[in-house]
Structures are given as structure tokens and as C-alpha cells.
């Protein structure tokens, strides 16, 4: 394979002829990005296991196996980011002509933008763990994801996957420049996986908002936060993926992969819980005796995100074929995103109707209007993410 | 404030955060090991057995393991088997937790272990002993304390840190992407289709 030396190749010491090739940068980032993605997926399965554990058994010690799995995922992501940053910092210092390939940070480090995101996101989750333990020592074993440090842990893990998208995007563009088609394809596939992992982890938080007990009282009406949160998330992630990747059916692939993660949950989590209960000789909490062998996460997973994704992809294809204006495409995607903000799950196929009846006409209308605003903001962010990722090389 | 200054601040915050995680990890691991001198020694009766229960932290620190040791006060015929658990007291929002332990190499029929105390308040360390003379249970009351509470609003403020960072990131990205010539009426370029790859 041809070796592409970056920048000038004259008169720098150590000799630029010994400088790592652009291909080496590509391999490092591709490996690091995929490892960070693996960390995020491990974290997702660990979190699903933890949700099952907390709901059915209760919270006991800090280092239970589901927590260890989550921490393992976070550690893997953090180490991947650190490895990329340290290696590229060494390269940038040793071979200054390579510096243009890297994003500098604090005047000390060099690396791809995504690696900084992954590193900080992993650190954020790691810091949130002892804070969560502290919070539990004060306020007990609240079985809800909407607790301050649960949000901090899960959003950190989701941002880890989001950072992996940026790392892999830089790989895809470097690979395109080098005409390394396999690496380019791997990077794009990795980006779809990373978008899906980020979407899945954020969905854990968003799905919690679909219950009527999560409504916000405004005095004159109650509103549900699910539509606005789901619209923000889907607009940002699916919109971002659809704008960034030059493939057909990107948004559908992202949601499809996230459904695959949920299927893995369904296959892994219930037997893992049973196995661990036997080992640790635990019993179910009162009111949860003999639960069905299903993953609680899979049971409440919002299903209409798939419809939303298919609509987004159809819009993108129409826009490309018929030369839609950017405005028309934007509005179509925002409307498609809004479809996914209606709560429907296996547990409650009629969740939207239940929610509407509990909110009343005014509350439902207000929730949909706020959801519409979320859809516009989410799609704007998604387009911005897509535009940045579409050209990102460092 | 320059970009470099902000990045350095972020770096310092990151290093401090990493330091906090590592210190907490060391404290958590250290809490599982018994010290040289117990902080509290209780002599209890578990059915036919007289036991000495040593607690190495008193009061216990909620959120960390409580190292303990159990040994028969008098010589016992045959061997003893134990089961130990920490049980939350009334009003404590927690679940019972089985404690881990191992044989004390220096004391015949003695054990050393660590009980998890997850929430502040009253707890009970329950020791169940089985031996040739039958089974007995001893309950040792424990009080668990926590660090001074942070206000709920402050907890939520810290919990949303990733979203503040994400918002700043998006704002920076939006301002970078914004080009004056964009009118919103431009047309999407029609892509060239090559295999299953669309290139715009």
C-alpha cells in the first residue's frame, strides 16, 4: 500500500521519512474509534442489566456485576481515547509537519476531536459513579433513571458513543483521500453503530418520560416531556446520521442497529440476572416475584423511532432525486422526527392514547407543540452535526 | 477568555475529576480490609454460641464496606459455618445485602469480611452460625453515617453537566457551520450513485 506522508517532507528532525504515514493515523483512529464503540455497547448492555437488577432485586453494593460491566465499558472507552491522544501527541511533537492532521488541545495535546469527546465523556461517567453512590447514601435506592447522577452516568456513556462517531468520521474522510475503500466502509459502518449506541443510551433516559407519572404540572395543564425529548434525540441522531453519511437508508440502519442492541439485551439480560441471583443467593423484591423472562428495557423501547427513520430516509432519497430545497428537506425531516416522538412500546402499545387521556386535550396539544419545537431544534442540531461530520478530518 | 485558557481550565477540571475517582477507588478498596485495631467490639450470643464481633469502623460509612471479624469467645467443638448480612433498619430505603467473608487464618472458627452499608441510618449486621450445637443468630445494631448532604438542586445542577458541555459544543458547531450565503432555498445536489454508495 502506498505510504502517504503528511505535509512537507524536507529538513525536519527527526527525519520525516520515519514519520508515521497517514495510513498509520487512519489505523490508529479506526481501531480506537471501534474500541470506544465497543465500550459504549458494553456500557449499554451493562446499564440494561443494572436496570433489571435495581427494579427486580434492589440496589445493594456499589460493585455489583452490572455496575462492573458499565465501568468496564467506560474504562475501555477512556483508554481508547487516551491511547489515540497520547500516540498522536507524540507524533505531533516528534514530527511537527504532521500537526495539521490533529486538533490541538490546551497547547499540550494533539488528537482527533472525537477522542477528546470520548475521553471527557468517559471521565464524566466515571466521576458520576461515586457521586451516585453518595446520592444513594443520602436518599436511598430510588428505582428511577431520572436521578441526577444516573443522568450524568448514562449521558456520559451516550456521549462516548457520540465521540466515536466523530473519530470514525475522520477515519472515513482520511480513507477516502487515501482511496482505502475497505477502511472507508468500515468507518461508515462504525459510524452507524456509534450513532445507534448513542441513540440507544440516550433512549434509556428518554423512554422513562413516556409514563403518565412523568408529566409536568403547569397549573392549568399537565404536559408530557416524552415528545420533546424523543424529538430532540431523533432529530439530532437520525438527522445527523442522514446528513453525514452518503449512503441510502442510513437512519433506518441506525434504528435497526439500536433494535439489535435491544435484542441482545433480551437475549442476555434475563439469563444473566437469573445466573447472578443463584450465585449470590438473592431473592426478588416484594411485588416482583417470578417476573417474566423479558428485558425490561426491551419491553419499554419506543417503537415508532423505526417509522421515523424510514420516513427520514425516504425524504433524503426524494430530496436527492428531485433536488428538493434545503428548507423543504428540513421541514420534511422535522415532521418525520415528530412521528417518532409518539410513545408506543411492546409493554404499552396504547401508551399514546393512555397519555393523551391522562393529559387531557390541552395537555396533549401543548405536549405536541413542544414536541414540534423539539423536532425543529433536534433537526437543526442534526443538520449541524451532519455538516461538521461530513467534512471532518481531524 | 481565550480558547487556550478555556481548554486549560477544562484540562484541570478533568485531572481533578480523575483524581477524585482514583481517590474514591482507593478508599473503597481500603474499606474492605480490616485494620489492626477494631473501632468497636461487641460480645453477642447467637443461640448456643458466644461470639466476639469486631467492627473496624464505627459508625459505619454509608456507601463503603464495613470490615468486620467474628470469632467464638470460647473454644467450640467441631467447625462453625457462617452467613452474614447487613439488614436496613426501619425507615431506611435499602435492601438486605449478603456480606462477603473468608476464614480468619489466625483464629479457629473465626471469619473476616466486609458488609455493605448503602444508605445512611440504622442497620443490623446479622450473623447466622451453624455448628454441632445447632444454629444461632446474632444481630448487631450499626449506625451508618454519610457525608454532609448536598442540596437536591445542586445535585441536579451537577448531574446535567454533560448537557451543558453538549450545548456549548453544539453552539460552537452551529456558529462554525453558519455561512452567510445560505438562504435556505438552495437545492440539494443530485448524487452520483455508485454501487450502494451515494456521493453528493
Cα gap A208→A234, rounded to integer Å: 15
Contact A302, A344 (CB under 8 A): yes
Contacts 24+ apart (CB under 8 A), A351-360: A351/A210, A354/A212, A355/A210, A355/A212, A355/A224, A355/A226, A358/A212, A358/A215, A358/A222, A359/A212, A359/A215, A359/A221, A359/A222, A359/A223, A359/A224, A360/A221, A360/A222
Contact A148 B161 (CB under 8 A): no
Question: Which chain B residues are within 8 Å of A281, Cβ to Cβ?
Answer: 98
Q: In terms of pLDDT, which residue wins out, B190 or A349?
A: A349
Element of type H or E holding A5: none
Contact B93 A142 (CB under 8 A): yes
Contact A147, A30 (CB under 8 A): no
For residue A131, give the nearest of B143, B20, B115, B153 by alpha carbon: B20
Question: Which chain A residues are within 8 Å of B155, Cβ to Cβ?
Answer: 135, 148-149
* Number of C-beta neighbours around residue A68 at 10 A: 13
Residue B61, all three cell numbers: 460509612
> Which of B17, B24, B184 has its CB closest to that of A123?
B17
Cα gap A273→A279, rounded to integer Å: 10
Question: Which chain A residues are within 8 Å of B190, Cβ to Cβ?
Answer: 320-321, 323
Bridge partners, B87 (sequence order): B124
Mean pLDDT of A165-169: 95
Domain boundaries of chain A, sorted by first residue: 19-389
- Minimal CA separation from B74 to chain A, in Å: 31
What pLDDT score was predicted for residue A70? Answer: 95
> Which of B119, B144, B149 has its CB closest to that of A140?
B119
What pLDDT score was predicted for residue A6? Answer: 44
Question: Is residue A13 scored above 70 in pLDDT?
Answer: no
Contact B4 A131 (CB under 8 A): no
A281 CB within 8 Å of a chain B CB = yes
In tens, the pLDDT along B41-88 reads: 999 998 899 999 999 998 999 988 899 999 999 888 888 999 999 999
Nearest CA in chain B to A78: B18
Q: Which of A214-228, A279-293, B104-118 bottoms out in mean pLDDT, i.e. has the lowest?
A: A279-293
- Minimal CA separation from B160 to chain A, in Å: 6
Task: Supply the angle between the helices A351-389 and A226-244 in degrees, to the nearest 10.
Answer: 30
- The residues in A 10-69 lying below 8 A from B, measured between CB atoms, are 57-63
Question: Residue A108: which residues within 8 A CB-CB, separation 6 or more?
Answer: A89, B11
Contact B188 A319 (CB under 8 A): yes
Cα-to-chain-centroid distance, residue B109 = 30
Question: Is residue A288 scored above 80 in pLDDT?
Answer: no
Question: Which chain B residues are within 8 Å of A124, Cβ to Cβ?
Answer: 17, 161-162, 165
In tens, the pLDDT along A170-199 reads: 999 999 988 889 999 999 999 999 999 999
Nearest CA in chain A to B174: A384
Mean pLDDT of A341-346: 90
Contact A137 B97 (CB under 8 A): no
Question: Which chain B residues are within 8 Å of A128, Cβ to Cβ?
Answer: 159
Q: Is B63 left (phi over 0), alpha (psi -120 to 50) or beta?
A: left
Tell me which DSSP letter residue A391 carries: T
Q: In terms of pLDDT, which residue wins out, A242 or A59?
A: A242
SS3 state of residue B193: strand
Residue A38, all three cell numbers: 465497543
Candidates B188, B191, B193, B200, partner chain A, best to mutate (most A CBs within 10 A): B188
Candidates B1, B60, B66, B95, partner chain A, best to mutate (most A CBs within 10 A): B95
Contact A134 B147 (CB under 8 A): yes
Mean pLDDT across chain B: 83
Question: Is residue B10 scored above 60 in pLDDT?
Answer: yes
A325 CB within 8 Å of a chain B CB = yes
Contact A342, A302 (CB under 8 A): no
Contact A136 B159 (CB under 8 A): no
Question: Is residue B190 scored above 50 in pLDDT?
Answer: no
Amino acid at each position: 500500500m502506498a505510504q502517504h506522508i503528511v505535509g512537507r517532507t524536507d529538513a525536519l528532525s527527526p527525519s520525516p521519512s520515519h514519520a508515521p504515514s497517514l495510513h498509520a493515523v487512519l489505523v490508529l483512529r479506526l481501531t480506537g474509534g471501534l474500541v470506544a464503540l465497543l465500550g459504549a455497547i458494553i456500557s449499554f448492555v451493562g446499564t440494561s442489566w443494572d436496570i433489571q437488577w435495581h427494579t427486580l432485586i434492589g440496589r445493594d453494593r456499589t460493585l455489583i456485576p452490572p455496575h462492573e460491566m458499565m465501568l468496564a465499558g467506560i474504562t475501555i472507552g477512556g483508554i481508547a481515547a487516551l491511547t489515540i491522544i497520547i500516540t498522536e501527541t507524540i507524533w505531533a511533537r516528534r514530527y511537527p509537519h504532521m500537526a495539521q492532521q490533529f486538533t490541538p488541545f490546551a497547547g499540550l495535546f494533539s488528537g482527533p476531536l472525537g477522542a477528546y469527546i470520548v475521553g471527557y465523556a468517559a471521565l464524566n461517567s466515571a466521576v458520576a459513579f461515586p457521586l451516585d453512590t453518595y446520592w444513594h447514601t443520602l436518599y436511598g435506592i430510588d428505582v428511577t433513571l431520572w436521578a441526577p447522577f444516573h443522568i450524568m452516568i448514562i449521558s456520559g456513556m451516550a456521549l462516548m458513543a457520540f465521540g466515536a462517531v466523530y473519530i470514525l468520521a475522520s477515519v472515513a474522510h482520511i480513507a477516502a483521500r487515501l482511496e482505502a475503500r475497505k477502511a472507508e466502509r468500515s468507518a461508515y459502518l462504525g459510524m452507524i453503530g456509534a450513532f445507534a449506541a448513542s441513540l440507544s443510551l440516550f433512549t434509556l433516559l428518554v423512554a422513562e418520560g413516556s409514563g403518565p407519572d412523568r408529566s409536568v404540572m403547569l397549573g392549568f395543564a399537565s404536559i408530557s416531556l416524552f415528545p420533546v425529548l424523543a424529538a430532540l434525540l431523533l432529530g439530532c441522531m437520525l438527522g445527523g446520521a442522514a446528513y453525514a453519511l452518503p449512503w441510502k437508508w442510513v437512519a433506518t440502519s441506525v434504528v435497526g442497529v439500536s433494535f439489535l442492541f435491544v435484542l441482545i439485551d433480551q437475549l442476555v439480560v434475563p439469563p444473566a440476572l437469573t445466573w447472578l441471583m443463584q450465585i449470590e443467593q438473592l431473592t426478588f423484591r416484594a411485588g416482583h416475584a417470578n417476573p417474566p423472562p423479558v428485558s425490561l428495557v426491551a419491553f419499554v423501547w419506543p417503537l415508532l423511532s423505526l417509522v421515523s427513520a424510514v420516513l427520514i430516509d425516504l425524504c433524503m432519497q426524494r430530496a436527492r432525486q428531485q433536488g428538493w430545497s434545503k428548507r423543504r428537506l428540513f421541514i420534511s425531516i422535522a415532521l418525520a422526527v415528530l412521528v417518532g416522538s409518539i410513545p408506543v412500546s411492546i409493554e404499552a402499545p396504547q401508551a399514546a392514547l393512555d397519555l393523551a387521556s391522562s393529559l387531557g386535550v390541552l395537555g396533549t396539544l401543548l405536549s405536541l407543540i413542544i414536541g414540534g419545537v423539539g423536532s425543529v431544534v433536534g433537526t437543526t442540531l442534526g443538520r449541524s452535526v451532519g455538516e461538521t461530520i461530513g467534512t471532518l478530518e481531524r | 477568555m481565550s480558547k487556550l485558557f478555556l481548554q486549560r481550565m477544562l484540562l484541570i477540571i478533568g485531572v481533578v475529576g480523575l483524581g477524585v475517582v482514583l481517590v474514591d477507588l482507593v478508599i473503597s478498596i481500603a474499606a474492605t480490609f480490616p485494620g489492626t485495631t477494631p473501632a468497636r467490639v461487641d460480645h453477642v450470643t447467637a443461640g448456643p454460641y458466644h461470639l466476639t464481633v469486631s467492627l473496624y469502623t464505627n459508625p459505619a460509612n454509608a456507601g463503603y464496606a464495613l470490615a468486620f471479624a467474628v470469632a467464638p469467645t470460647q473454644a467450640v467443638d467441631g467447625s462453625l459455618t457462617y452467613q452474614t448480612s447487613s439488614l436496613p433498619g426501619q425507615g431506611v430505603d435499602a435492601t438486605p445485602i449478603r456480606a462477603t467473608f473468608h476464614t480468619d487464618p489466625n483464629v479457629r472458627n473465626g471469619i473476616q469480611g466486609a458488609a455493605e452499608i448503602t444508605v445512611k441510618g440504622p442497620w443490623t449486621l446479622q450473623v447466622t452460625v451453624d455448628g454441632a450445637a445447632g444454629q444461632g443468630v446474632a444481630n448487631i445494631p450499626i449506625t451508618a453515617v454519610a457525608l454532609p448532604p448536598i442540596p437536591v438542586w445542586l445535585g441536579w445542577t451537577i448531574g446535567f453537566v454533560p448537557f451543558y458541555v453538549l450545548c456549548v459544543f453544539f453552539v460552537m458547531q452551529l456558529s462554525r457551520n453558519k455561512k452567510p450565503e445560505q438562504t435556505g432555498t438552495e437545492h440539494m445536489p443530485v448524487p452520483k450513485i455508485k454501487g450502494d454508495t451515494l456521493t453528493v
